[in-house]
Amino acid sequence: MCEIILEEIQKQSPNFTMLDIQNYLFCSTQYDEIVVESAVVYLSNLAKQLQAFQQNPEEMLKALKDISIDVLKSTRERYRGEEKIKRIRFHVLDQVIEKRNISIEDLENIKEQVKVKYDTNILQAWNNFSILFELFYTDKKEKVKFEQQRIHEAIQRFDVCSDIEFVKGKVLNGFNWNQQFGGSECWLALYESKFENHRVAPQLYVSIDGEEIRYGMLFGDQHPKRGVQDTEKISNTNEFTFERLHEKIVEAMDMFKETPEEEVPETFDTDISVEVWKTLIQNTTIFTEDNLEYLKTVLNLGGAATASQLGQLLNRHPSSFISPVVGLAKRILKELGQETEENENETKKKYWKVLFNGEYIESNHFSWIIKPNLKVALEEYFASNEDDDYPIFTKEDFLSEVFIDEEKYEKITNLLRYKKNIILQGPPGVGNSLFFNRREGSKSCRTCPIPSKLCLRRLRDGVSPREQWF
């Protein structure tokens, strides 16, 4: 191994010797300063690359060609015979392997060919980045976890941490921590073994995304002091040093150690019938439109979702759902005569269990699972509120009224799905100002005057009249 490395390095630096290579390998694996700094550089560079892919998925397609052909073939076999999004991934890999080239137009055509095989809109929760992420990340997943583990272990070796019993190997969340969608952030956290999980514990953490490196101490999102933190942020990777990380951990350690172990608060465990749920849902002073929006999103994901999934689909921060869920649960309990008095100095009870069961899943994320009776009631509510009087405006209808052929129609619609906007050029007064530009999960289209209850995006395939017109 040393001979191979030496041969390569001597091409640039002829004076290097075998002893230099041995020293290099020893230092790069044994000195925490070098281990941590090199790990942060690798993770930061990958985060920036993924962030660039989020903004321009076409570059992600080009990057797939740089992955080893053996890795691509092995990954393709994992998707062979699969359905929906995995079938799209299979066809993408198939073209990359066989043709060594794939464009964004090719991807849109593959998506359309697979989509038409299903009655439901299989692409509703997916964009091009999330579809391609697993393909790009497959040969990097273990490397990311390995580098995070090295940072995790180095922090445990700090003198100030010597008397603390941390949970070994937790928490390490790579760029795939947001379930299968992927993202440009990875993070790790250390917490004491006396706590049930990191969410109820004070944590030492390091988070890296495409914008900055963050590290220090914070409280888990289910801790009474959630939101309190002692954090340093660095936007320039070159400014990060092992010494700065060490100094911040030492500085934050007083807060970390002074925090007493908190009892995990009990949760409400209600048993509400389907009929009662139906009555509650119809009461607009209890179930607001915002409540119904995120509950419908959870239903569309099969009745279970993490806060991160909801945040991505509804373009909101994952923590923004906590207060609405608590507020809804309190209104339900008040209506049922089960509200409880709270002492401001006591830990607030968890209200999420009024509406949800739950479990910790991969990457230690908590999945909210809609309670069975509530799920039935919601499904019946949304089904009964669909208005089938609106006719579906098909591609054939469109082509019969305009002066373009089907090939141009396919090109325009594929570009529209990818870019989310198009420019129509023509003389004034012929309707070329008509446009839409809506974010997923919004209550109406941009500049659209149609009330949300009449909007066709609430029907069938979830699009607005203007989007359907295009």
pLDDT tens for residues 42-75? 999 999 999 999 999 999 999 998 899 999 999 9
- Encoded tokens for 465: 């009249």
The neighbour count for residue 240, using CB atoms within 10 Å, is: 22
Pairwise CA distance, residues 301 & 312, whole Å: 13
How high is the pLDDT of residue 179?
63
Write out the two tokens for 281. 């849902």
Amino acid making up residue 420: K
For residues 9 and 172, give the distance between their C-alpha atoms in angstroms, rounded to a whole number. 33
Q: Helix (H, G, I), strand (E, B), or coil: what is residue 215?
A: strand
Alpha-carbon separation of residue 134 from 30, 187, 459 (angstroms)? 32, 18, 31
**C-beta atoms surrounding 109 within 10 Å:** 14
232 and 250 Cβ atoms separated by less than 8 Å: no
Per-residue model confidence (pLDDT) at position 418: 66
Kindly give the pairing relationship between strand 213-219 and strand 304-306. Answer: unpaired
pLDDT tens string 4-42: 999 999 999 999 999 999 988 888 888 899 999 999 999
Structure tokens that stand for 9 in this block: 């390095």
Q: Is the pTM of this model over 0.85?
A: no
Whether residue 156 is predicted with pLDDT greater than 70 in this model: the reply is yes
